[in-house]
């Protein structure tokens, strides 16, 4: 890595860590918290959608599962709210288990069929949660107030989400160049050929799917407390699932850098557009952006940089 980039990266990390304690506008902290969350989601999604080429259109459901698991744990055991930092881990585990149950049959399907079944999964999850009384049903669930200063709480959650983001990015980066990542990419290229090369494709795919649900599950746990009131229509919103896919593909699904670029730029573009334009126009421009991108940079923004690199060699 170039020294310039290293310094920049260091400054970003230091800035992000310091930000909430410098009494900035609440809006900035909230916006960044959501951006971090989307980086976690899109980055995890890349494991199955980007590397293995199995486009999951239901990954938002794992965020919801994480949120509800944490809320139930906290309310059931009457835990002090700061325990959320611990109870978000089982939330990730629950999301991972559900991913294993869904993924086992779903990963036998390919292409559009897999995309459809994951999309259905996300819809069904929203319906199920809406209709189960012990999950609050259509009324949603309240989480107990933090009992500490609001600004301090916001700062803590901000930092934890930041750490989760860094861990997710580093994990995916490590996988990208590992044996596991190479196997996933081979599955994307030609699954049958991968099988003749001893790649145990069902196991490899399922591991990727389960891992790609784990991090969003944890993020969901944090998100639940951040919102302090969760409702099926907010945490299981299908828009989240679709946004994750768009972000990852916008940045470029084949590499760990893609979702970072995608999640950050799309969140910011969206914010800027809605700040300066009427919401209706903002949406039209947002949509046009995708059309242009898919036509001219189908492998995402990052492919633009990589093409430059391969031309040198």
Partner 1 sequence: MLKGEHLTKSFGGLRAVSSLDFEIQEGEIVGLIGPNGSGKTTLFNLISGFYRPDEGRLFFKEKEITGKPPYIIAQMGIGRTFQIVRPLPDFTLLENVRIAVLYGRHGIRDVKEATGKAEEILEVSELADKMHQYPLNLALEDRKRLEIARALAINPELLLLDEVFAGLNEKEIEKAVAFTFEIKRRFNLTIFMVEHVMKAIMGACDRIIVLHHGAKIAEGAPEEVAHHPEVVSAYLGKGYVARL
Nearer to partner 1, 159 or 299 (CB): 299
Which secondary-structure segment (H or E) carries 230? strand 229-230
* Burial environment of residue 81 by CB neighbours within 10 A (0 to 12, 13 to 18, 19 or more): middle
Select from 198, 275, 279, 291 the one that contacts partner 1 (CB under 8 A): 198
Nearer to partner 1, 142 or 177 (CB): 177
φ, ψ of residue 241 in degrees (nearest 5): -55, -45
State the Cα–Cα distance between residues 88 and 67, nearest whole angstrom: 8
Segment near partner 1 (CB under 8 A); pick from 146-154, 187-195, 230-238, 277-285 = 187-195
**241-300: contacts with partner 1 (CB under 8 A):** 254
Which secondary-structure segment (H or E) carries 225? helix 201-227
Nearer to partner 1, 156 or 204 (CB): 204
Select from 171, 201, 234, 237 the one that contacts partner 1 (CB under 8 A): 201
199 binds partner 1 (CB under 8 A): yes
Nearest to 71 by CA among 232, 238, 227, 225: 225
- Nearest distance from C-beta of residue 211 to partner 1, angstroms: 18
Q: Is the dihedral of CA 205, 206, 207, 213 positive or negative?
A: positive
- Nearest distance from C-beta of residue 304 to partner 1, angstroms: 16
Nearer to partner 1, 146 or 194 (CB): 194
Helices (H) and strands (E) in the chain, counts: 14, 2
311 binds partner 1 (CB under 8 A): no
What is the number of other CB atoms lying within 10 angstroms of the CB of residue 123? 14
312 binds partner 1 (CB under 8 A): no
Q: List residues binding partner 1 (CB under 8 A).
A: 177-179, 182-183, 185-186, 189-190, 192-201, 254, 313
């Amino acid at each position: 890595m170039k020294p310039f980039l290293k310094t920049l990266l260091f400054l970003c990390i230091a800035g992000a860590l310091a930000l909430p304690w410098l009494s900035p506008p609440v809006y900035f902290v909230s916006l960044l918290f959501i951006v971090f969350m989307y980086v976690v989601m899109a980055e995890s999604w890349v494991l199955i959608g980007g590397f293995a080429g199995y486009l999951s259109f239901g990954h938002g459901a794992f965020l919801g599962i994480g949120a509800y698991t944490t809320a139930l744990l906290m309310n059931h055991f009457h835990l002090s709210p700061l325990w959320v930092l611990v109870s978000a881990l089982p939330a990730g585990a629950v999301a991972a288990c559900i991913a294993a149950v869904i993924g086992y049959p779903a990963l036998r399907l390919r292409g559009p069929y897999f995309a459809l079944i994951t999309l259905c999964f996300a819809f069904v999850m929203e319906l199920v949660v809406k209709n189960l009384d012990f999950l609050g049903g259509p009324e949603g669930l309240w989480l107990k107030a933090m009992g500490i200063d609001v600004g301090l709480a916001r700062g803590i959650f901000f930092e934890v989400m930041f750490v989760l983001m860094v861990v997710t990015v580093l994990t995916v980066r490590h996988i990208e160049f590992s044996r596991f990542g190479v196997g996933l990419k081979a599955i994307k290229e030609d699954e049958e050929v991968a099988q003749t090369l001893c790649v145990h494709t069902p196991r490899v795919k399922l591991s990727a799917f389960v891992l790609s649900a784990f991090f969003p599950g944890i993020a969901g746990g944090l998100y639940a407390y951040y919102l302090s009131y969760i409702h099926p229509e907010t945490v299981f919103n299908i828009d989240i699932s679709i946004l994750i896919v768009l972000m990852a593909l916008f940045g470029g699904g084949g590499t760990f850098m893609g979702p970072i670029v995608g999640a950050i730029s799309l969140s910011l573009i969206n914010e800027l557009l809605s700040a300066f334009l009427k919401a209706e126009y903002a949406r039209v421009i947002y949509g046009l952006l995708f059309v242009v991108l898919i036509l001219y940079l189908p492998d995402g923004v990052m492919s633009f940089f990589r093409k430059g690199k391969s031309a040198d060699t």
